[in-house]
Amino acid sequence: MIIDAHLHIWRATPHYPNPDATIVSPFSDVPIELLADYMAEYGVDRAVLVQPLFPGVDNSYIADCAAADPHKYAAVCVVDSSQPDAADQLEYWVTERGCKGLRLRPNMSDEEHIFGTPPTYPLWQQAAKLGIAINIVARPQHIPKIRHLLEQFPTVPTIIDHMAHPQVSDGVQSPDFQALLHLAQFKNISIKPTGYYYFSAQRYPYTDCWDFFRAIYDHFGAERLIWGSDFPHVLLKTGYRRSLLMQERVFPFLTPTDLRLMMGENALRLYWKTPN
């Protein structure tokens, strides 16, 4: 089974204030039907729909798409973590609308100030109660707070998107990247080795990132690595098929079991608790 565990779909958002914040324009539709076409063409069985920036905290489109075919799709929502009712918002999107995960975005300036602070602890407590995973799109400077959250909430499955956007020019031995590797001691954390074009100085196959992937693999093991395409942005940077095949093409040390875990089984365990 192949699961694309990191991608975005949306309806056009004509009034989004910052179109430069994304590779694919929010002024264009990226519908579920387009994603389904790519999945069918390349043999991808399931997908995790991660709420994009543009609709804010209205997760309706991804929630409705996932609810229409829950065997194939799972939705990861966002809520306004700065609001006192953030935990109630999360409960609504999970229990009433069927979302399977929450995404926190400290890399955004308007969310960074609240990330990991005590007023947001009820959100983590709610995630623990609901039994869902928390995805974090972060930068290296956020790793100390992530570590603190992992200490506070050791039962909440936590996933770091895009390897926390490492500063590749600083090398694998940089203190920031080593701090990410040290998070491997927490058994509830997984890493998405995705979105290389966000931090690589090179084109595909992103050779300058290979040592970073190897270090992540050595520390976390394949059982805590999760592949995702970053659709639709990947279409303009790498191409869907090359993203799908990159792991087996450029990392020959990965075993068939490693690939099976990374490319599907790990995401199945997190987002489809009782697979059917």
Residue 43 structure tokens:
């043999």
Number of other residues whose CB lies within 10 A of the CB of residue 179? 16
Q: Who's near 9: CB < 8 A, 6+ residues apart? A: 30, 31, 32, 34, 35, 49, 52, 61, 62, 65, 231, 232
Distance, C-alpha 177 to centroid of its chain? 18
pLDDT digits (tens, 9 = 90+) for 158-217: 999 999 999 999 999 999 999 999 999 999 999 999 999 999 999 999 999 999 999 999
Beta strands in 128-265 (DSSP E): 133-136, 158-160, 189-191
Q: Hey, what domains does the chain have and what are their CATH numbers?
A: 3-271 (3.20.20.140)
Beta strands in the chain (DSSP E): 3-7, 46-50, 73-77, 101-104, 133-136, 158-160, 189-191
Please write the tens of the pLDDT for every residue from 28-50.
899 999 999 999 999 999 999 99
